[in-house]
Amino acid sequence: MEILLAPLSTDWLLELEVFINDWFFVLALAFLGFEMIRYRVVRKLSWMLIGDTLTNYVTLALFIAITVLALGTFYVAAFFFVFQFAIFDIEINWLTVLICIVLADLVYYWEHRFLHRVNLGWATHSVHHSSPFFNISVAYRFGPMDSFWPVFFHLPLVLLGFNPIVVLFAEVIVQVYQTALHTEAVGKLPRPVEAVMNTPSHHRVHHGSNPDYLDKNYGGIFIIWDRMFGTFAAEREQVTYGLVHPINSVNPIIAFLHGFQRLARETWQTPGLVNKVRVLVNPPGWQPKENPRTPSD
């Protein structure tokens, strides 16, 4: 118990965060090599798969560029500004860090659900879902605004009194855990694990375009949030990965921007200013009952 309550330095925590993030990326690249060998053995390796994998890392580079040049500063500045008005003065130790990770995972569930159910969010998040494959490189397939929306969902944790560095660390842990779920090489895990934790099986469902799998399994580390809030689905039938209306392209620019292109087209084709706004804030595919447009994706 003394270890859990021992004070932690924010500088040390920040260094640990960078260490985990960087080294997990190296491990992910090594695991991708294993997955490619596996694809070759089961005769699923193709130029389409290789091109899609390269596209994943190009979108990552574009995402990093946008984050570094603009959104990253906004993210950190917002956290430290709100921290001035924190309700509680929460100490930094392993116990509070663990609590923050659990809360960050709950926050991630609602952020993730928002990205799927609000068209403005889906415009960027659909990039991540546009790959017709499922391997660890897909975890690094990012959209242009993927570092914009999380700040609004995590700010309440800062306002509650968690140090911004602790919240950022918790976000990294949730993201790193979820990154590891992007694989077909791991089958179902023992039932107690599948009951509580998010697993590759649960996350394969999340990436499925099968009707029974749409908008399911939003959790990051824990699947209990989906079970609690009615969005859980078990992996029963073979998963068809990608969007309901595929982009059918490995061009990284098309992959990176297709969601906003779709949203702009839908908004433009929808008559009436009020309806145009409703296109942005309603779920993907929404259209007015009167004078509906032709559905896109």
Give the tens place of pLDDT for each residue, 246-268.
999 999 999 999 999 999 999 99
284 lies in some domain? no
239 lies in some domain? no
Residue pLDDT, tens place only, 156-188: 999 999 999 999 999 999 999 999 999 999 999
Q: How far is 198 from 87, CA to CA, in rounded Å?
A: 31
Q: Do residues 225 and 109 make contact, with C-beta atoms less than 8 angstroms apart?
A: yes
221 lies in some domain? yes
Q: Give every CB contact of residue 50 below 8 A, 6+ residues apart in sequence.
A: none
Span 77-90, average pLDDT: 96
119 lies in some domain? yes
* DSSP output for 12-76: HHHHHHHHHHHHHHHHHHHHHHHHHHHHHHTT---HHHHHHHHHHHHHHHHHHHHIIIIIHHHHH
Phi and psi for 268 in degrees, rounded to 5?
A: -65, -40
pLDDT band at 290 (very low <50, low <70, confident <90, very high): confident
SS3 content of the chain, % helix, strand, coil (to 5): 65, 0, 35
278 lies in some domain? no
34 lies in some domain? yes
pLDDT of residue 296: 46
pLDDT band at 297 (very low <50, low <70, confident <90, very high): very low
The number of distinct structural domains making up the chain is 1
Q: Which domain holds residue 98?
A: 7-229
Residue pLDDT, tens place only, 96-151: 999 999 999 999 999 999 999 999 999 999 999 999 999 999 999 999 999 999 99
pLDDT band at 293 (very low <50, low <70, confident <90, very high): low
Q: Do residues 130 and 242 make contact, with C-beta atoms less than 8 angstroms apart?
A: yes
48 lies in some domain? yes
Q: Do residues 20 and 173 make contact, with C-beta atoms less than 8 angstroms apart?
A: yes
What is the length of the chain? Answer: 297
Q: How far is 217 from 242, CA to CA, in rounded Å?
A: 15
262 lies in some domain? no
pTM: 0.93
Long-range contacts of 208-213 (CB under 8 A, 24+ apart): 208/239, 208/240, 208/241, 209/240, 209/241, 209/242, 209/243, 209/244, 210/237, 210/239, 210/240, 212/236, 212/237, 213/239
pLDDT of residue 294: 56
Please choose, from the candidates 104, 121, 101, the residue with its C-alpha nearest in 3D space to the C-alpha of residue 113: 121
Residue pLDDT, tens place only, 186-197: 999 999 999 999
Residue pLDDT, tens place only, 36-82: 999 999 999 999 999 999 999 999 999 999 988 888 888 989 999 99
Q: How far is 114 from 120, CA to CA, in rounded Å?
A: 9
Q: Indicate if the pLDDT at residue 94 is higher than 90.
A: yes
Residue pLDDT, tens place only, 105-119: 999 999 999 999 999
Helix 150-160 × helix 164-179 angle, to 10°: 130
Residue 255: enclosing H or E segment and its boundaries? helix 252-269
